[in-house]
Structure 1
Amino acid sequence: MIGKLDPDDLAMVVSRTGARDDDVQVGPGYGEDAAEIRVGDQSLVVSSDPLSLARERLGTLAVNVACNDVAASGADPRWLTNVVFLSDDDPETLDVVTQQIDDAARDLGVAIVGGHSEYAPDLSRPMVTMTCMGLTDEFVPTAGAKPGDRLILTKGAGIEGTAILATDFRDEVGENANRGESFFEEISVVEDARICREHATAMHDPTEGGVVTGLLEMAEASGVRLEVAREDVPVRDVTRKFCDTMGVDPLRIFGSGALLAAVPEEAVSAVLSDLRGAGISADEIGRVVDGDGELVVDEEVVSEPPRDDLYHLWE
């Protein structure tokens, strides 16, 4: 089975935190993709992510997904370590993947400071695991959404999923494949987060499971109820076409490229204006109210994180 652990197994894993350290301000927790570690008068933000799908752009995605989690926590990504496992002795794949890693890191101004590479013949496909680090004066958690806040989503649902469909399922999606592949150039949310963090009470990078899972994680982490209207969630035409062709929900496929932010109602206009002024599309998609970790999309109550709709396509 491909995908995240179920909530019970995940709870077991995140409960095992090793030795106590008072400098750890935010450690493992549901919905929190990055740790906050006090270093002097600043916070070091650290996040790790593995990637083994989307083989054609594996290195590009791996860098951006890791950096996005750090950016969504209020920091500027600065350092990366990369661990590369190859399924067989394949120098060409190693060259392609590591060149993608180098290019993506240079584009973001992030230094690669270490890592590990080896062959692992039991794997069916290459795997890259990235750890990203950055510094901030103010950590922005997933768990900070407050009743009265409004929810903003940048770019749209399924940006990453659209790019993956365009490359891994090129024949199936047809003539718009090249247009969808260009979405790889929009995977980063570093600039989105840099703008939103001035006002945001919470930010989150929807990845596996898409916008729906990202919203549910924010709701549960914050202990609030999020109410969203599906028609308010932006979905690009090519994304909708691909999803209709493949029989998947654009709100439940890989969502990197979009940033979810909870901001006070009085700051919504300023945040939207700043984002659009930077050339980043953004929309208000819902609101935060009193609750206990619920997500409501139209009239549907979502209580369990959905399995990403793309996974069955690889099985």
Structure 2
Amino acid sequence: MIGKLDPDDLARVLDRTGARDDSVEMGPQYGEDAAAVRLDDGSVLVVNSDPLSLAKERLGTLAVHVACNDVAACGADPRWLTNVVFLPDDDPETLDALTTQMDEEARESGVAIVGGHSEYTPALERPMVSMTAMGLADEYVPTGGARPGDRVLLTKGVGIEGTAVLATDFRDELDLSADLLARAESFFGEISVLPESRVLRESATAMHDPTEGGLLNGMVEMAIASGVRLEIDRSAVPVREETAEICAAMGVDPLRIFGSGALLATVPPETSADALAALDAEGIRASEIGVVADVDGADEAGVDIDGELVRDAIRDDLYDLWE
């Protein structure tokens, strides 16, 4: 089985967090993108680790951005990376492609790769990269900070990462125009959410990087972590033409495929218009897709999308295509 641990297994992991340290402001918690440690100078060190193994053509590109995005979604500027590379065999071409992609994307993002580890692991069927990103923030922005009355914002659109992966890893299975596939592949250039995070962190009560399980899973994680209900109008969720056509051809839901490239945020109602205008001024498309509602108990928290309440973790639709 591919994917994250189920909630019960994850709960066992989260119960075992090692020695207590009073400088830790955010430790391991469901739905949170990264950890936060308050430093002696008052700044916050934000740290995230993420593995990738399935997007074979742009594995190095995605590895950098997925790790950095989680740090950015917490209000920090990513500054340092470490990478762990596992290769199934002695394959110089794959190693060169991976390391070149990681170097290029890190430089483009202004992030230094400061260490890591590489080895051959014959038990693996495909290469795997695990990145740890670190950055500094004035204040940590959590996933679990959404408050009743807040407006729910989404930048760019759903399934940006998933669309690009489908257009490359499954190119031979798609009977679509070369032009559309080329446009979809270009979505790899939009995976970073650093620009929008720098705008939204000034007013956001919560931010989240929807990755595995897509936007829907990201919203579930935000709602459960915040103890609220996100009331979402599906028709307000932006789905690009390339995403819609490729997902229809592959039989997957745009809201349930890898969502890196979009930033999910909640903002107070009085700042929503200003936040959208500030994003537009930076050339970043964004939409208000719903509101945050209060609940009577934790078992009512979740995502109400067009009247259907979703509370359970979403398994990414792309996994069935790889298995």
State the TM bucket, normalised to the shorter chain: over 0.9
**Mapped partners of 1:218, 1:11: distance in 2:** 17
Q: Does 1:201 align with 2:175?
A: no
1:28-47 aligned at under 5 Å gives the runs 28-40=28-40, 41-47=42-48
SS at 2:153 equivalent: strand
1:263 alignment partner in structure 2: 267
Match of 1:229 in 2: 233
Match of 1:296 in 2: 304
Amino acid of the structure 2 residue aligned with 1:281: R
1:105 matched residue in structure 2: 106
Shift of 1:64: 0.2
Shift of 1:295: 1.0
Aligned counterpart, 1:284: 288
SS state at 1:55 partner: coil
* TM-score of the pair, normalised by structure 2: 0.97
Stretch moving more, 179-188 or 296-305: 296-305
| Further displaced range: 271-280 or 171-180 | 171-180
For residues 163-242 of structure 1, the aligned pairs below 5 Å read: 163-173=164-174, 174-175=176-177, 176-242=180-246
Alpha-carbon distance in 2 for matches of 1:247, 1:232: 21
- Look up the match of 2:11: 11
What is the alpha-carbon distance in structure 1 between the residues aligned to residue 284 and residue 14 of structure 2? Answer: 34
2:320 maps to: 312
For 2:116 and 2:12, locate their aligned partners in 1 and report how far apart those are by CA, in whole Å: 27
Counterpart code for 2:37? I
1:25 CA displacement: 0.7
Aligned length in residues: 315
Give the Cα separation in 1 of the matches to 2:286 and 2:12. Answer: 36
Q: State the SS of the aligned residue for 1:267.
A: helix
TM-superposed CA distance for 1:200, in Å, is: 0.1
- Aligned-pair distance for 1:237? 0.5
Alpha-carbon offset, residue 287 of structure 1:
0.5
Output the aligned Cα RMSD.
0.6
Deviation at 1:303, TM superposition (A): 1.4
Counterpart CA distance in 2 for 1:199 and 1:181 is 32
- Match of 1:56, SS? coil
**Amino acid aligned to 1:159:** I
Pairwise CA distance, 1:172: 2.1
Give the Cα separation in 1 of the matches to 2:307 and 2:23.
42
Query: How do 1:20-31 and structure 2 match up within 5 A?
Result: 20-31=20-31
1:40-189 aligned within 5 A: 40=40, 41-173=42-174, 174-175=176-177, 176-189=180-193
1:300 alignment partner AA: E
Structure 1 runs of 4+ off > 6 angstroms? none
Q: What TM-score results when the alignment is normalised by the length of structure 1? A: 0.99
Distance 1:100 1:231 in 2: 36
Partners of 1:120 and 1:177 lie apart in 2 by 33
Q: Aligned partner of 2:69: which letter?
A: N
Deviation at 1:233, TM superposition (A): 0.5
Runs (5+) with no aligned partner, structure 2:
none
- Offset at 1:276? 1.0
Q: 2:309 and 2:318 mapped to 1: Cα distance?
A: 22
How much does 1:178 deviate?
1.1
- Following the alignment from structure 1 to structure 2, what is the Cα–Cα distance between the partners of residues 131 and 238? 31
Counterpart CA distance in 1 for 2:311 and 2:69 is: 25
For residue 164 of structure 1, report the CA deviation from its aligned partner: 0.3
Report the AA paired with residue 80 of structure 1: L
Q: Distance in 1 between matches of 2:243 and 2:173?
A: 14
Shifted more, 297-306 versus 128-137: the winner is 297-306
3-state SS in 1 of match to 2:144: helix
- 1:297 and 1:130 map into 2 onto residues whose CA distance is 33
- After TM superposition, give the deviation of residue 306 of structure 1 in Å: 1.2
Structure 1 SS opposite 2:212: coil
Distance 2:53 2:164 in 1: 15
